[in-house]
Amino acid sequence: MKSKHWRLAELIKTSVELFKKHQIENARLNAELLLAHTLQMDRVRLYLNYDRPLNEVELTTYRNLVRRRLTDEPMQYILGKTEFMSLPFKVTPAVLIPRPDTETLVEWVIETCRTGGKKWILDIGTGSGNIAVSLAHYLPFIHVVAIDVSPAALRIAAANCRENNCTARVHFFRSNFTHENFVNVFQAKFDYIVSNPPYIPEHEFEFLSGGILKHEPHLALR
């Protein structure tokens, strides 16, 4: 028996119904993003190809992505990327997903540092590097020292730095700012120290949403 040939329109419709059944917010957006990612096209092209059938490889890939989303895995991890300060950032479960609220911090630093000469900024707990890279991108006269205790996070941050062409002015180190040798290692005087540190109290941790609790790095949350 031949397998069913799924076309984009009916696949989106079926996926939306499935996501709604599992109480996934923004069901249609989720379906379209996953399908666009599968087919390596933007969402606009989905509408221009509504009658296009998927081959078996594409269908299998898409179904696997849908299954991941149904486990509450964040969309950013599934796609492997997100946007922060209008810049692209790679993300994996090794790093906390950059939050829109953190853009307020970055915008404040940018506005504060906009005038003046060369400045040095310390970014504590850099994670994906979103703060450090964004500051270096929008402030071409500053240097950033970005530290984290996680080697995996530092690898992601370094990749994001290369992607956004900031390698000459962002310097990554594995370090904990509470370490007794911290002052000896970083003898430079910083003009600004920025951070989005772990902030979830232990007694509130178990009440986090499933997507955060099951998939984001606990080290970055508490």
Instruction: Give the range among 28-42, 85-99, 201-215 with minimum mean pLDDT.
Output: 201-215
Based on the fold, state whether residues 196 and 94 are members of the same structural domain: yes
Establish if 104 belongs to a structural domain.
yes
Sign (positive or negative) of CA dihedral 84, 110, 144, 126: negative
Average pLDDT over residues 141-166: 95
Average pLDDT over residues 61-81: 95
Task: Say yes or no to pLDDT of 178 above 80.
Answer: no
Based on the fold, state whether residues 108 and 202 are members of the same structural domain: yes
DSSP string, 75-91: HHHHHTEEEETTEEEE-
Establish if 113 belongs to a structural domain.
yes
Based on the fold, state whether residues 53 and 86 are members of the same structural domain: no
Residue 54: CB atoms within 10 A of its CB come to: 19
Model confidence pLDDT, tens digit, residues 108-141: 999 998 877 789 999 999 999 999 999 999 999 9
pLDDT band at 222 (very low <50, low <70, confident <90, very high): very low
Q: Which domain holds residue 53?
A: 8-70
Percent of the chain residues past pLDDT 90, beyond the cut: 67
Establish if 93 belongs to a structural domain.
yes
Based on the fold, state whether residues 49 and 19 are members of the same structural domain: yes
How far, in Å, CA of 7 to CA of 131, rounded? 41
Establish if 76 belongs to a structural domain.
no
Establish if 2 belongs to a structural domain.
no
Based on the fold, state whether residues 111 and 169 are members of the same structural domain: yes
Bridge partners of 38, per DSSP, are none
The model's pTM is 0.84
Whole-number pLDDT of residue 115: 78
Task: Say yes or no to pLDDT of 70 above 90.
Answer: yes
Based on the fold, state whether residues 100 and 204 are members of the same structural domain: yes
- Split into its structural domains, the chain has a count of 2
Residue 136 tokens read as 């270096």
Based on the fold, state whether residues 13 and 93 are members of the same structural domain: no
pLDDT band at 205 (very low <50, low <70, confident <90, very high): very low
Task: Say yes or no to pLDDT of 163 above 50.
Answer: yes
Instruction: Give the range among 42-51, 68-77, 126-135, 173-182 with minimum mean pLDDT.
Output: 173-182
Whole-number pLDDT of residue 1: 36
Q: What is the CA radius of gyration of the chain?
A: 21
With tokens 């829109």, the residue in question is 100
Establish if 142 belongs to a structural domain.
yes
Establish if 167 belongs to a structural domain.
yes
